[in-house]
Amino acid sequence: QLQASGGGLVQAGGSLRLSCAASGRIFGINSMGWFRQAPGKQRELVARVTSYGSPTYADSAQGRFNISRDLDKNTVTLEMNSLQHEDTAVYYCNLAVDEPGRPGSVNYWGQGTQVTVSS
């Protein structure tokens, strides 16, 4: 189970922090990260970090957002700076798990949290 927190309303140029915690003992974690979905648009990757600590950022997030992960607590945090109106969306925590006998990774999703950036 993924429990997300953070989000809210912020003015353009401001900052927000999103946190997500995965409960229970989880084996085979491939990555944890954040996706977002704006009205009328598809869900897209914002940032994720692999079990080895390697981060990936969407071009729109590069240089403004920072993702970090606590391996002991199975939490992932997204620090968002210099927020823009275009960052307004519902943000979803994602956990990708490699399960034995199954190709690829299985994706688990947290409840969405709204981020609204006023211009």
Neighbour-count burial for 43-68, b at 16+ CB within 10 Å, e otherwise: beebbbbeeeeeeebeeebeeebebe
pLDDT tens, 41-60?
A: 999 999 999 988 899 999 99
pLDDT tens, 86-113?
A: 999 999 999 999 988 888 899 999 999 9
Query: Hey, which residues does 54 pair with through a beta bridge?
Result: none
SS3 59: coil
Query: Hey, which residues does 35 pair with through a beta bridge?
Result: 45, 92
pLDDT, position 71: 82
